[in-house]
Amino acid sequence: MYKFDPFAIPFLIGFAFVIGWVIVRMIQIFIGMPKKDKKRVFVNIFTFKTVRGIGEIISEVLIHHRIWRENKLLGFMHMSFALGWFLLIVTGWIESSLRANGETLPIWQHIFYKYFFPGEHVFRLSDVIKQLMDLWLAVILLGQLIAVLKRFFYRRAGIKIRTRHSRMNRIALTALWFIFPLRLLAESCTASLYGGGGFLTGSLGQLIAWIGDASFITYPMWWAYSIALGVFFCVLPFSRYLHIPVEAFLILARRWRVSDITTINRLETMACSACGMCLSDCPLARNNIAGVQPVYFIERLRDGKATTDDAWKCLQCGRCQQICPVRVHANNLRQELKGSTDRVEFGLDTHKRVLAKRVTLFSGCMGKLTPRTKAAMEKILNAAGVEQTWIDEERDLCCGRPLRFNGNQNTANQKFNELHDAILETRPDAIVTTCPICFNMMKNRFETIPVYHHTDYIRMLIEAKRIDLERSEETLTYHDPCELSRQAEYARQPLKVLNRVGTMLQPEETGEKTRCCGGAVAAIGLNNSERKTLAQETADYLSNRNADKIVTACPLCKKTIAQRSKRPVADFAEIVADALVERE
Amino acid sequence: MKQFGYTTLTKKSVNIYETDTSLWKELSAANPEFKGCLSCGACTAACPINNSGTTLNNRRTIIELNRGMAITSDAANCQMCNRCSLVCPKGLNTRRIFFELIRKRTEEKQ
Ligand code: SF4
Ligand code: SF4
Ligand code: SF4
Ligand code: SF4
The CATH number covering residue A503 comes to 3.40.50.1860
The total of structural domains in chain A comes to 3
Alpha carbon of A392: minimum distance to chain B alpha carbons (Å): 11
Reported as a pLDDT band with limits 50, 70 and 90, residue B12 is: low
Residue A334 lies in a domain: no
**Structural domain ending residue among the three candidates A238, A261, A292:** A238
Over residues B79-104, the mean pLDDT reads 90
Instruction: Indicate whether A391 and A491 sit together in one domain.
Output: no
Q: What is the pLDDT of residues A392-402, one digit of tens each?
A: 888 889 999 99
Instruction: Indicate whether A422 and A565 sit together in one domain.
Output: no
Q: What is the pLDDT of residues A197-217, one digit of tens each?
A: 889 999 999 999 999 888 899
Q: What is the pLDDT of residues A340-387, one digit of tens each?
A: 888 888 999 999 998 888 999 999 988 989 999 999 999 999 999 999
Please determine, for residue B16, whether its predicted confidence score (pLDDT) is greater than 80: no
Chain mean pLDDT for chain A: 92
Cα of A318 vs its chain's centroid, Å? 9
Name which of A576, A328, A346, A329 is nearest A467 in CA terms.
A576
Instruction: Indicate whether A230 and A94 sit together in one domain.
Output: yes
Nearest CA in chain A to B49: A396
Helices vs strands, H then E, count in chain B: 6, 0
* Centroid of ligand 1 to alpha carbon of A176 (angstroms): 19
Residue A348 lies in a domain: no
Alpha carbon of A462: minimum distance to chain B alpha carbons (Å): 32
The burial of A102, by beta-carbon neighbours within 10 Å (0-12 exposed, 13-18 middle, 19 or more buried), is given as exposed
pLDDT value at residue A584: 64
Taking the CA of B46 as reference, the closest ligand is 3
| CB contact (8 A) between residue B93 and residue A528 | yes
**Residue A477, beta-bridge partner list:** A550
What are phi and psi for residue A389, nearest 5 degrees?
-125, 125
Q: What is the pLDDT of residues A259-274, one digit of tens each?
A: 999 999 999 999 999 9
Name which of A144, A146, A134 is nearest A204 in CA terms.
A134
Q: Note the residue count of chain B.
A: 110
Set of chain A residues whose Cβ sits within 8 Å of the Cβ of B93: 524, 526-528, 531
SS3 A551: strand
Instruction: Indicate whether A566 and A445 sit together in one domain.
Output: no
pLDDT value at residue B54: 87
Instruction: Indicate whether A448 and A534 sit together in one domain.
Output: no
Asked if A478 contacts A515 with a C-beta cutoff of 8 angstroms, the reply is no
Residue A350 lies in a domain: no
Report yes or no: A409 at the B interface, CB cutoff 8 Å. no
Pocket lining: B86 vs ligand 4, CB cutoff 6 Å: no
Instruction: Indicate whether A105 and A207 sit together in one domain.
Output: yes
Report yes or no: A532 at the B interface, CB cutoff 8 Å. yes
DSSP at A467: S
Residue range(s) defining the domain that contains residue A142 = 6-32+63-238
Instruction: Indicate whether A133 and A231 sit together in one domain.
Output: yes
* Centroid of ligand 1 to alpha carbon of A296 (angstroms): 9
Reported as a pLDDT band with limits 50, 70 and 90, residue B11 is: low
Instruction: Indicate whether A459 and A480 sit together in one domain.
Output: no
Reported as a pLDDT band with limits 50, 70 and 90, residue A280 is: confident
Whose CA is closest to atom 4 on ligand 2?
A: A314
Instruction: Indicate whether A481 and A559 sit together in one domain.
Output: yes
**Residue A550, beta-bridge partner list:** A477, A569
Residue A116 lies in a domain: yes
Name which of A553, A478, A563 is nearest A518 in CA terms.
A563
Please determine, for residue A487, whether its predicted confidence score (pLDDT) is greater than 60: yes
* Centroid of ligand 1 to alpha carbon of A324 (angstroms): 5
Phi-psi sector, A350: left (phi>0), alpha (psi -120 to 50), beta: alpha
Residue A516 lies in a domain: yes
Residue A306 lies in a domain: no
pLDDT value at residue A418: 93
Dihedral sign for Cα atoms in the order A510, A511, A513, A515: positive
Please determine, for residue A482, whether its predicted confidence score (pLDDT) is greater than 90: yes
Percentage above 70 pLDDT, chain B: 87
Domain with residue A222: its CATH number is 1.20.950
ipTM of this predicted structure: 0.84
The burial of A23, by beta-carbon neighbours within 10 Å (0-12 exposed, 13-18 middle, 19 or more buried), is given as exposed
Reported as a pLDDT band with limits 50, 70 and 90, residue B10 is: low
**Residue A432, beta-bridge partner list:** A361, A452
**Structural domain ending residue among the three candidates A207, A238, A269:** A238
Out of A400, A402, A563, name the one closest to residue B82 (CB): A402
Taking the CA of A332 as reference, the closest ligand is 2
Percentage helix, strand, coil, to 5, in chain B?
Answer: 50, 0, 50
Set of chain B residues whose Cβ sits within 8 Å of the Cβ of A398: 48, 79, 81
Asked if A552 contacts A534 with a C-beta cutoff of 8 angstroms, the reply is no
* Centroid of ligand 3 to alpha carbon of A214 (angstroms): 76
Instruction: Indicate whether A417 and A489 sit together in one domain.
Output: no
Q: What is the pLDDT of residues A58-67, one digit of tens each?
A: 999 999 999 9
Name which of A501, A519, A535, A559 is nearest A372 in CA terms.
A559
What are phi and psi for residue A17, nearest 5 degrees?
-60, -50
pLDDT value at residue B13: 66
Instruction: Indicate whether A435 and A525 sit together in one domain.
Output: no
Over residues A446-460, the mean pLDDT reads 94
**Structural domain ending residue among the three candidates A463, A483, A514:** A463
Instruction: Indicate whether A28 and A128 sit together in one domain.
Output: yes
Q: Note the residue count of chain A.
A: 584
The burial of B108, by beta-carbon neighbours within 10 Å (0-12 exposed, 13-18 middle, 19 or more buried), is given as exposed
Residue A552 lies in a domain: yes
Domain with residue A452: its CATH number is 3.40.50
Residue A137 lies in a domain: yes
Q: For residue A247, what is the enclosing H or E element?
A: helix A243-255
